[in-house]
Amino acid sequence: MKNRNDKSRNRRGVIKWSKEEIEFWKQMSKGELSDIDVMIYLALRENGRIPDTELARMLGVSVPTARRHRIALQEKGYLQVMGMLIFEEFGLASADVILKFREEAEKEEIEAFIQEAIENPKVFEIDEYIGEYDIVIKFFDKDFKELKKTIENFITGRKIIQKSLILPAVSSPKLFTKPMKYKHAR
């Protein structure tokens, strides 16, 4: 697959994304996304604030077509445009806390634990795993000293946890599908 930056514009400003990337995303979506859907995703991935008029111009389609596709993607739950703080720009610390639950842990206990993590303002992502570990909870705090306290306060004494692995993050060269370039390199 070509680099995502492998695109050009024609005289009208229509972006020509690589066919390979469009096909890649269509295959990954198991045929749920059309070429227009993929191009909308690619454009919004670069700039989530693009108005429908600009989106239509970039794709070479009418404004109603661009709007209809974007709204359909959002209504189906396939696309969500959101803001995201870049922790590294603030010098914040983050860590992945990977957990294995005890086999005898009750389903309700695990669900309550996950709900507590969801409600914790210092948790920014939770993923369930298949394999040796069951879940990763991603925490952040103002520095590593505070982060250590936050994590310890959250997991210490939990009888449902069999083992844990804490991996402090020092850099995020790529978030989701976007390579990161930081203004305040540390």
Domain ranges in the chain are 7-75, 87-175
What average pLDDT does range 80-88 have in this prediction? 83
Q: Which residues contact 89 (CB under 8 A, 6 or more apart)?
A: 182, 183, 184
Residue-level pLDDT at 7 = 60
- How long is the chain? 186
Q: pLDDT tens digit string along 134-178? A: 999 999 999 999 999 999 999 999 999 999 999 999 887 777 666
Please state which CATH number belongs to domain 7-75. Answer: 1.10.10
Q: Which residues contact 45 (CB under 8 A, 6 or more apart)?
A: 176, 177, 178
Joined tokens for residue 113:
């634990």
Residue-level pLDDT at 172 = 78
Helix 35-46 vs helix 19-28: angle between axes, to the nearest 10 degrees?
A: 100
Rounded CA gap, 97 and 73, in Å?
32
Residue-level pLDDT at 111 = 96
Q: pLDDT tens digit string along 6-52? A: 565 555 556 778 899 999 999 999 999 999 999 999 999 888 899 99
Share of the chain above pLDDT 90, in %: 73
Residue-level pLDDT at 177 = 66
Dihedral of CA 9/10/11/14: which sign? negative
Please state which CATH number belongs to domain 87-175. Answer: 3.30.70.920
Cα 62 off chain centre by: 29
* 44 membership: H or E segment, kind and range: helix 35-46
Whether 145 contacts 152, CB under 8 Å: no
